[in-house]
């Protein structure tokens, strides 16, 4: 009987089945341990796991289980001389797949490194009011891979940390408060530009007087067809009020120019920068 058991154990089929069973058992144990993570977190925090975290952990759990089963099947096939080439190709393809995943993960890894750099160097902090390109808002959350900005319209803008770290970021919550707000408007050619600039500058000084050492100004920005584009650069004390200030400036400039050129040409306030 003992000799029969040894003979069965020495067969390729027995070892192959044994390795597959071991892989299944290990995969089930790993899956059960990972499943407990959400229950433990819910018990410790007193709430259900965040949907984003839950989605990530489900994907991680499935990848781990699939990897264990894949390796188990490959090791089982190595027990057969005829299938050994196939098993070696499976293991080699796993290494190639890992390399491909590493290349594909360049962006997430770059975001991760950038997130760590942002956390330590702190060019921005939570609740800072910042602008990135044309996005203005309050930093609501900084994760390892993304930075979340809440705009004045209560929209959430998600910026990858790699992009965030490589752009010019204006942080209005650090250093001197305030900044310059550009507001563009047009006047027709032939209008007295100096009078138009003086009128717009008077409006700017009334609505947003510049502090000592700074000054508002109105520049000729561009010529488009029959219109001349002027741009007022106005000091704003509170960057979070830039939209309201820009709206007030456009309305006041349009009214002032309209009154000044009553019976004359057209004028209009454009977009702020």
3-state SS of the chain?
CHHHHHHHHCCHHHHHHHHHHHHHHHHHHHHHHHHHHHHHHHHHHCCCCCHHHHHHHHHHHHHHHHHHHHHHHHHHHCCCCCCHHHHHHHHHHHHHHHHHHHHHCHHHHHHHHHHHHHHHHCCCCCCCEEEECCEEEEEEEECCCEEEEECCCCCEEEEEHHHHHHCCEEECCCCCCCEEEEEEEEEECCCCHHHHHHHHHHHHHHHCCCCCCCCCEEEEEEEECCEEEEEEEEEECCHHHHHHHHHHHHHHHHHHHHHHCCCCCCCEEEEEC
Residue 271: CB partners within 8 Å, gap ≥ 6? 184
Distance CA 145, CA 56 (A): 13
Distance CA 250, CA 183 (A): 7
Give burial (CB, 10 Å; 0-12/13-18/19+) of 22.
middle
pLDDT tens digits, residue range 177-191? 567 788 888 888 888
First to last CA, the chain: 89
- Calculate the alpha carbon distances from 103 to 3, 96, 106 in Å: 52, 11, 5
Predicted TM-score of the model (pTM): 0.46
pLDDT tens digits, residue range 62-87? 778 888 887 887 777 777 766 666 66
Q: Where along the chain do its domains lie?
A: 2-104, 121-171, 179-272
Which portions of the chain are predicted below pLDDT 70? 1-10, 37-59, 81-112, 175-178, 261-273
Pairing of strands 227-236, 156-160: unpaired
Which residue is it, tokens 């990530």?
A: 56
pLDDT at 202: 92
Q: Give 141's strand partners.
A: 148
Dig out the tokens for 72 from the structure: 């188990």
CATH of region 179-272, choose from 1.10.287, 1.10.8, 3.40.50, 3.30.70? 3.30.70
Dig out the tokens for 210 from the structure: 């510049």
pLDDT at 4: 45
Q: Which fold has domain 121-171?
A: SH3 type barrels. (2.30.30)
The 10 Å CB-count burial string (b at 16+, else e) for 240-264 is eebeebbeebbebbbebbeeebeee
């Amino acid at each position: 009987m003992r000799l029969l058991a040894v003979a069965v154990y020495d067969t390729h089929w027995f070892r192959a089945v044994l390795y597959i069973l071991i892989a299944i058992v290990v995969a089930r144990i790993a899956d059960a341990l990972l499943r407990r993570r959400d229950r433990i977190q819910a018990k410790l925090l007193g709430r259900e796991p965040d949907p984003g975290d839950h989605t990530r952990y489900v994907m991680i759990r499935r990848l781990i289980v699939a990897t264990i089963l894949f390796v188990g099947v490959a090791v089982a096939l190595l027990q057969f001389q005829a299938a050994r080439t196939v098993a070696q190709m499976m293991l080699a393809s796993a290494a190639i797949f890992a390399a491909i995943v590493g290349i594909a993960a360049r962006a997430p890894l770059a975001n991760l490194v950038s997130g760590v750099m942002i956390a330590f160097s702190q060019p921005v902090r939570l609740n800072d009011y910042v602008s990135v390109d044309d996005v203005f808002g309050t930093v609501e959350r900084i994760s390892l891979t993304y930075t979340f900005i809440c705009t004045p319209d209560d929209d959430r803008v998600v910026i990858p940390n790699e992009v965030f770290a490589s752009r010019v970021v204006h942080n209005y919550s650090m250093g001197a408060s305030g900044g310059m707000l550009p507001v563009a408007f047009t006047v027709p050619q032939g209008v007295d530009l100096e009078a138009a600039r003086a009128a717009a500058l008077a409006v700017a000084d009334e609505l947003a007087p510049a502090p000592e050492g700074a000054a508002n100004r109105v520049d000729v920005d561009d010529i488009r067809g029959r219109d001349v584009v002027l741009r007022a650069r106005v000091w704003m004390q509170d960057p979070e009020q830039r939209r309201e200030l820009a709206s007030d400036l456009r309305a006041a400039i349009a009214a002032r120019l309209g009154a000044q050129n009553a019976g004359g040409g057209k004028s209009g306030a454009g977009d702020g920068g």
